[in-house]
Amino acid sequence: MKPIRVAIIQALLRGSKEARSAHIRELVRQAAVQKADLVTLPEVWNGPYQQDLFPTFAEPRFGPSWQFLSSLAAEYGIWLSGGSIAEQEDGRVYNTAYVFDRTGREAARHRKMHLFDIQITGGQHFMESETLTAGNAVTVFETEFCNMGLCICYDARFPELFRLMVDRGAKLVLVPAAFNLTTGPAHWELLFRQRAVDNQVFCVATSPARDPEASYHAWGHSIVTDPWGRVVTQLAAEEALRVVELDLELADRIRAELPLLAHRRSDVYRLECNSSALVP
């Protein structure tokens, strides 16, 4: 199993969809110059993270943002985790993440399964279910490096979903995410270290940069954690691009030395998934 060079793009995103796309293109170009194999983008990069506006800039499946991401992957010969975009289908709006292979082929699609409906006293109020529809798929896909899982932001708070991805062979999980200034400092690093150590996987969580001019202030701090629960790298709040090389064999070594996945008591408990929720 060969190492993989992963580029995290924590982009500061402003202006029109066209302006955002142009900025993303330049950052992807810079990542490709640094010989990244896999480039990761943040959650909802093609419009403001504002729930009442999601329907306004949502696109149909295979729309302009899909075409843009596919062409970027093919142009630079990279795997591209295209963050997530607002997607519209049959009158419903989804928060949808895509991954494209080196030829620009769609390798994975995940619709955010758990919607962020919260009311924190003295903190955040957000009701994604007012405008978004939840997905229902456990998403794992194959690469020349390893099987990878894909989920979006609030999905990562549900350990069952991570374990189902691992049961399908995932050794690295991609998470476009946008925690806020209440949940970020409290849980961001803790959460991704915990998901990594519980499941003996790499986690790559990519946030937008914090924009004080926006209505939603992202925590930033895009992070990579390894299967031992260590922080491989973590950014600050500002825009940044960072490339890290990951030794994916570490997951196999740790699973052999500390075989917690093999030690599960399937005679006592079991985690199951509806067959309709399994996608390539």
Residue 8 has pLDDT above 60, yes or no: yes
For the stretch 249-258, pLDDT in tens is 999 999 999 9
Q: Tell me: the pLDDT tens digits for 48-73?
A: 988 889 999 999 999 999 999 999 99
Give which of 195, 189, 206, 218 is closest to 244, Cα–Cα: 206
**Structural element, H or E, at residue 87:** strand 79-89
- Percentage of the chain surpassing pLDDT 70? 96
Q: Tell me the catalytic residues.
A: 43, 112, 153
Task: Say whether pLDDT at 280 is over 60.
Answer: no
Which helix (H) or strand (E) is 29 found in, with range? helix 17-33
Is the pLDDT assigned to residue 236 strictly greater than 80? yes
H or E element at residue 160: helix 159-167
Q: Look up residue 206 and give its two tokens.
A: 């990519």
Q: Using 50, 70 and 90 to split pLDDT, how confident is the model at 240?
A: very high
pLDDT of residue 263: 96
| Other beta carbons less than 10 A from residue 243's beta carbon | 19
Residue 112 CA to residue 103 CA, distance in Å, equals 25
Q: Determine the average pLDDT of the residues in 233-246.
A: 98
Q: What are the structural domains, with CATH classification, of the chain? A: 4-255+273-279 (3.60.110.10)
Give the mean model confidence (pLDDT) for residues 128-133: 90
Tell me how crowded residue 164 is: count the other CB atoms within 10 A of its CB: 20
What integer pLDDT is reported at residue 164 of this predicted model? 97
What pLDDT does residue 122 have? 67
**pLDDT > 90 in the chain, percent:** 89
Q: Rounded mean pLDDT of the chain? A: 95
